Every structure is written in C-alpha cells, then in structure tokens.
Amino acid sequence: MPGGGRLEGRIALLTGASRGLGAAVAVRFAAEGAHPVLLARTPGALEEVDDRIRAEGGRATLLTADLCESGKIEDLAAALFERFGRLDILVAAAAELGPLSPLGHYDPQTWSRVIDLDLTVNWRLIRALDPLLRLSPAGRAIFVTCALGREPAPYWGPYAVAKAGLEALVRIYAGEVAKSSVRANLVDPGAMRTGLRARAFPGEDPGSLPAPESLTEAFVRLALGECRENGALVLAQDPELAPGPGFQVCA
C-alpha cells in the first residue's frame, strides 16, 4: 500500500533479506510504505525480492555484503548515513544454523561462524547503527530469536547459545536506550516454512508450517513510531496479532 501504509516514509534496514523471514518482512514493510534497504550475501536472491516489491509498487535499495567480514558493518553504517542521514528501523534477521551435533564434535571454525553471525554481528550492528537510530524521531531495532534461546536442547550447540546471548544482548541494549527515542525488541517467529527449518527437520512436511509472510505483523507493530514496547519478546504466532491490538509478550 505505498502512499498510505503504517510505515510511510520510514527507512528500514533488513539483514538476511534475500529469503525466508527477512524477505517476507521486507516485502511487507514496502507494502506498508517503508523504503527497505535489503542486505544479504547473494545478489541474485535479493533481486528476486526486489522484483516482488516493485510488482506491488514499492521501491528498495539492495546491498550485498558478508557481515562477518571485518569492516563491512562500519562501511554499511557510513553508506546509510551518506544516503539517508538516519535509520528508522533495523530488522536483524540474518542467521546461520550450523550442523546439529554433540558439542564436542563441532570444529572451531563452524562454532565461530555460527556464534559470529547469530550473536556478535548483532552486537556490531548495534554498535555501528545506534547513532543512526538515534537520528530518527523513532528508531526501532528488532531482532529475531527462537525458543532455543530460552529452552536449549541437545545437539543445537552454537545456535542455541547464540540465541540465548542475543536475548541478553537486546535486553541490555533496550535498557541503555530506555530514555531515548530508540526502542529495541525481540521477535520469536516460531516454527515456519523456511530453508533453515528444512535443514534442521528434513523429514517434516513444510506444508504443515505457516509461511513467513503470515508472521510479519509483529514486525510492523514493533516498527511503528508509536510503539512503546522496549526489551520485549513478542511471539509472532500469537493469535491476537491478527487482528487484535495486543501482543503476547514474554517477560
């Protein structure tokens, strides 16, 4: 709905935007009037998302980068400031599952890669983009988590550890920005029909799971300038999110 959406004119950076949940949120944000900046490692998949956005009358900016590479996030922040002068919304959806394995079977390189992308990169995004979010009249930072961060299970090693650390990280950040115009929150989308889920559960029927496109309302509400939630964990599959006014918030 370009021209009359709830996020009209807001600049939104989305990591992991080439597929799955990140792509779905990007398309929804554009439909709500935002200008999404799509970030991922592969340009081909990003262009497909851009085609979906353009087909609905929206516009996007495409950026390719491996956020784990030194200096890339700082370069990203500088480019956003030069182009837009601020950042209104950050959605950090990029994630790496890694193999499911006993802890002692992970090689250090695999462990480091998952922890880096799923946890450390999010700290570096906060570090580099917080000044841009503070330049917005209503900066909003939204991070994607899952139940394994609160209820770790065997064989999920670095992924579960990273999600537990992410939840602590975001709540710390939320406390630090509480007296500013910035708000930081977490969304747990639950089980959904994505490639990451399929790698973890190859025998599962994907048709039994909700599509990521059906789980974007929580992100829209947390991205609104009038949203006052801070340090909250929102369950995207809460029935009240569509169409009810409330959130299911986990303290």
Tell me 229's DSSP state. Answer: -
Active-site residue, 155 included: no
Catalytic residue among 106, 155, 159, 173: 159
DSSP H or E segment with residue 172:
helix 157-176
* Contact of 159 with 97, CB cutoff 8 Å: yes
d(CA 64, CA 102): 33
User: Who contacts 169 (Cβ-Cβ below 8 Å, separation ≥6)?
Assistant: 119, 122, 123, 126
Q: Which of 118, 74, 88 is nearest to 13 (CA)?
A: 88
Catalytic residues: 159
